[in-house]
Structure 1
Amino acid sequence: MIDDAMTDPDMTVFVVDDDAGIRSSLVRALSLRGYRVAAFASAVEFLDEFELGMGGCLVLDYGMPGMNGLELQRHLNNMGAQLPIVFITGHGGVPESVQAIKAGAVDFLEKPFRQADLIARIETAFQITRELRQTQARSEQQQARFGRLTSRESEIVERIVENPREASSKEIASALGISPRTVDHHRARIMEKLGVKSLAELIALASR
């Protein structure tokens, strides 16, 4: 069940709980707060609709029949999913909560919990998602910039990064069997393509 109310068109609160009453209550409360909500009665139902890249967070019941919350968390981690999880449970203990947190959960709330506490955890999870997306976007931009380099230019960058102290045009030219003037030409093209103005900027960019 998906509610069209949303604070961010790309962010969804996924609720997975086998208790129909709790699911309905959470959907109602979160929708009134302006969140886009998708609710599922089991981990299997959720996985049937979930796709990598979906943003937001997962409000996940720990003690469901079949695949339980920790098993779903493990499955998502193995998939490489970057979906922050807020666990909710009526009978979880300290070992379970520690295990969930160690595996990357935002928090582990015991029922009954205050709505304000859940909202706070969801906002934390959303912020984590935003930061992950920003990091991914920067990484993709960097890959695109380096993808514009020729194989020779990439080789020169690799030598500069691996040993900055021996990165003069003369030293690189000697190692590659080309002239220093040719290296100078390649270095100028590298700087232009990567949008950097100094060797220090180049090394910092390549080391990210």
Structure 2
Amino acid sequence: MSEANLTVFLVDDDEDIRSSLSRALTKRGFHIENFASAEEFLDTYNGEKSGCLLLDYGMPRMNGLELQQHMISKGYSLPIIFITGHGGIPESVQAMKAGAIDFLEKPFRQKTLVDCINAAFETALATQEHEKKTKDLRIKFERLTDREKEIAQLMVSNSSSTSSKDIGRILNISPRTVDHHRARILDKMNINSVTELVDLSIRANLFSK
């Protein structure tokens, strides 16, 4: 997916700001979706579309920081840029610690905002690529038999010293049978070594419960 497929989700309770930012960003080639409140945005957003969230901090009912925390709790990875005329240093620190791209105080230069959006899009694309690779790895892992998963977990848990003989003793099967399963595991995961298996298991959290 390229940046042309990404969306700027603008959430601000000030209609004038929504209109002016939408016009300016549309002229810059961005696709914009507007929302007058955090609740309105959440009624529509399901985590499937990617891009970035351009979010006003000081909104009534659910404010920007509260929406950010809600997004985190839902597992949504949409990068967030805060815009505010009310927030101070504590709020900006809290937002950045929670992963915000930036915290811009109104008024801000349009170029500054565009640079932030482009940085957010780069983050979104990198996240998409990581999520795709992780999904592909988990699909490959699920193709393993229960025995192969069991042996793979033993291979990963102590990769430096778990030999086929050790695994065979633990599972009460022959080392030759373990060797066969090892070869099948590497073949199905399309990897060449136990080191790669360890790396993939960490990256994709393969053995999470």
| TM-score normalised per structure 1 | 0.90
Please give the per-residue CA displacement for 1:139-180, whole angstroms capped at 9, x wherever unaligned. 111101111111111111111111224332222222211122
Larger radius of gyration: 1
8 Å Cα contact 2:65-2:95 kept in structure 1: yes
8 Å Cα contact 1:169-1:183 kept in structure 2: yes
Moved more, 182-191 or 104-113: 182-191
Q: Are 2:122 and 1:127 aligned?
A: yes
CA distance in 2, matches of 1:7, 1:166: 46
Shift of 1:59: 0.8
CA distance in 2, matches of 1:189, 1:7: 39
**Secondary structure, in 3 states, of the residue corresponding to 1:88?**
strand
8 Å Cα contact 1:148-1:193 kept in structure 2: yes
**Correspondence for 1:35:** 30
Q: Unaligned regions of 5+ residues in structure 1, if any?
A: 1-5
**Correspondence for 1:8:** 4
8 Å Cα contact 2:156-2:194 kept in structure 1: no
Q: Are 2:101 and 1:106 aligned?
A: yes
Q: Are 2:173 and 1:184 aligned?
A: no
Aligned length: 202
Q: Unaligned regions of 5+ residues in structure 2, if any?
A: 204-209
Letter in 1 for 2:175: P
**Secondary structure, in 3 states, of the residue corresponding to 2:166?**
helix
Please give the per-residue CA displacement for 1:50-86, whole angstroms capped at 9, x wherever unaligned. 1123211111111122222122212222222111111
Match of 2:150 among 150, 155, 160: 155
**Correspondence for 1:19:** 14
Letter in 1 for 2:91: E
- Pairs within 5 Å for 1:48-87: 48-87=43-82
Residues 191 and 78 of structure 1: CA distance in aligned 2, closer, same or farther (over 3 Å): closer
CA distance in 1, matches of 2:9, 2:180: 53
**Correspondence for 1:167:** 162
CA distance in 2, matches of 1:146, 1:203: 13
Identity %: 54
8 Å Cα contact 1:13-1:59 kept in structure 2: yes
Moved more, 177-186 or 27-36: 177-186
8 Å Cα contact 1:84-1:106 kept in structure 2: yes
Q: Are 2:189 and 1:194 aligned?
A: yes
Match of 1:94 among 67, 89, 96: 89
Please give the per-residue CA displacement for 1:15-43, whole angstroms capped at 9, x wherever unaligned. 11111111111110111111110011111
CA distance in 2, matches of 1:96, 1:202: 42
**Secondary structure, in 3 states, of the residue corresponding to 1:191?**
helix
**Correspondence for 2:136:** 141
CA distance in 1, matches of 2:33, 2:185: 47
| TM-score normalised per structure 2 | 0.90
